[in-house]
Structure 1
Amino acid sequence: MNKELPISKHPWDEIDDDSYKALSKEEMELLRKAKPHNFKLINSWWIVLSQVALTLIIASACFVFSKQADKSVYTYSALVGGLIGFLPSALFLVRLEAAKKNVKSGPGGYLAAVVSGEFIKILVTSLLFIGFALKQPDLKWIPLLVTYLATLKCYLLVWFWK
């Protein structure tokens, strides 16, 4: 005997016709005019600028609150962590800007630019971590990683500001 298993029904499996509506171009323009703050774009360079600013703030805090003998090492480590955070982001944006300026490129070309930009970002981040770990063995990893992780959280902060 071949028994069929019952298919579980979840609320998200069933879509009501009232749960969504495709808007026309005119309706979309009216919605944009009614709620312009929901449609404003964020300039991606502001994210990189906020990463640089946060790096400088954390490095300054490391300089102020560390012991006299460790001031330069902690400050330098925080600056390196910030550099590892914002340099790959800046390179990614440069890659996307180059793809936007390429008139011949279509959506597939822009997608390829996003993928290659992410690859560049991962590669540069890895190389910077490895390079600084090998060439600067006296770095303090806690301020470096705290600053690096803080620069990564700038994406979330800018999203909340929107």
Structure 2
Amino acid sequence: MVLSLGATLAWWLFYSPPGDAALSAFLGGAICWVPSALFAARLKAKSGAETIMSWMIGEALKMGATIAMFVAIAFWYKGALWVPLLVTYLVALKTYWIAMVWR
């Protein structure tokens, strides 16, 4: 989440005009961390019943939420700038891999 906020700030500082670029970047980051937060909350709520099926359902919900957020932004936010949105989404998405390498 912090990285997506940092990317949002970078798009706001270095893109002209900054408004739509920063909002698009923020939404791109949110597309990454909101479904992940929902997945984590679901796992925490089911702390006594960690099964393979529980993880699979959680991942399916996470993918569905991600797709739904992309569709919702495309449908309702006509001023979306797709380059900042997708770049910030990919940066936030790759953060998990960087964190695993550092461990």
Q: TM-score, normalised by structure 1?
A: 0.61
Aligned-partner Cα distance in 1 for 2:44–2:53: 13
Structure 2 unaligned segments of length 5 or more: list them.
Answer: none
**Count of residue correspondences:** 103
Q: Is the Cα–Cα contact under 8 Å of residues 81 and 145 in structure 1 kept in the other structure? A: yes
* CA apart distance, 1:151: 1.0
* CA apart distance, 1:90: 0.6
Structure 1 unaligned segments of length 5 or more: list them.
Answer: 1-51
1:135 equivalenced with 2:76 (yes/no): yes
Aligned-partner Cα distance in 1 for 2:102–2:44: 23
Larger Rg: 1
The one-letter code of the counterpart of 1:130 is: V
* CA apart distance, 1:158: 0.7
1:60 equivalenced with 2:60 (yes/no): no
Identity among equivalent pairs (%): 34
Two-structure CA RMSD over aligned residues (Å): 1.0
Aligned-partner Cα distance in 2 for 1:96–1:154: 21
Runs of 4 or more above 6 Å deviation:
none
* CA apart distance, 1:137: 1.1
* CA apart distance, 1:161: 1.4
Counterpart residue number, 1:34 = none
* CA apart distance, 1:74: 0.3
Aligned-partner Cα distance in 2 for 1:60–1:153: 18
Counterpart residue number, 1:97 = 44
- 3-state SS of paired residue (2:78): coil
Q: TM-score, normalised by structure 2?
A: 0.95
The one-letter code of the counterpart of 2:2 is: A
Q: Is the Cα–Cα contact under 8 Å of residues 99 and 110 in structure 1 kept in the other structure? A: no
* CA apart distance, 1:116: 0.7
* Greater per-residue helix proportion: 2
Counterpart residue number, 1:71 = 18
Counterpart residue number, 1:8 = none
Aligned-partner Cα distance in 1 for 2:64–2:70: 10
Counterpart residue number, 1:160 = 101
Q: Is the Cα–Cα contact under 8 Å of residues 77 and 144 in structure 1 kept in the other structure? A: yes
